[in-house]
Structure 1
Amino acid sequence: MASVGSPDSSEFEVVVQLKPEVLDPEARAIQETLARIGYDGVRSVQVSKRYILTVDDKSGQGAALVESVAREFLANPVSETFQVRKL
């Protein structure tokens, strides 16, 4: 595998979060706690997971590889969405 920062590698960010229709108890607990301690202006909280992947990108297919990894391994398609961004 190419080393980080080499011309043959690329870094990608994958952000995974629950779909809007899925109850997020962690986000709800954070929002309720913030309101209780005086942060009334916080209207909503979303919790997400962020992954940084450095991939071999000699062929220019790094984005497709990361999309596949996110779809097949990092996100649950039933309850989560994901976004991929090249860094």
Structure 2
Amino acid sequence: MKATVHVFLKPGVLDVQGKAIENALHGLGWADVNHVRVGRVLEFEVGGDKASAEAEVKAMCDKLLANTVIESYRVEIG
């Protein structure tokens, strides 16, 4: 079963990389772009039924894939 995990910084956490991209976009002429946030997407295969796979992936996120102090995540199983 395919698992997709979306990880982003929590609101209020300074996103230095997002700000750098926003400034670069402004420099290239896209002045209307604002509030750029950078995240990451992880995709991998996981076994089991949908409910157990989702629980397992959430445990992976809490222990390794996301820093839950400053990041939030969303899990998709499909």
Say whether the fold is shared (TM-score over 0.5).
yes
- CA–CA separation in structure 1 for the residues paired with 2:76 and 2:29: 35
- CA–CA separation in structure 2 for the residues paired with 1:56 and 1:37: 45
Aligned AA (1:83): R
Q: How does 1:44-63 map to 2 (within 5 A)?
A: 44-58=35-49, 60-63=51-54
Paired residues, number: 78
TM-score (norm 2): 0.90
Aligned counterpart, 2:28: 37
Aligned AA (2:41): R
CA RMSD of aligned residues (A): 1.5
Aligned counterpart, 2:15: 24
Aligned counterpart, 2:69: 78
Following TM superposition, where does structure 1 have runs of at least 4 consecutive aligned residues deviating by more than 2 angstroms?
none
TM-score (norm 1): 0.82
Aligned AA (1:24): D
Larger Rg, first or second structure (1 or 2) = 1
Percent identity, please. 31
Q: Which structure carries more helix by proportion?
A: 2
Q: Within the alignment, does 1:64 sit opposite 2:55 as a pair? A: yes
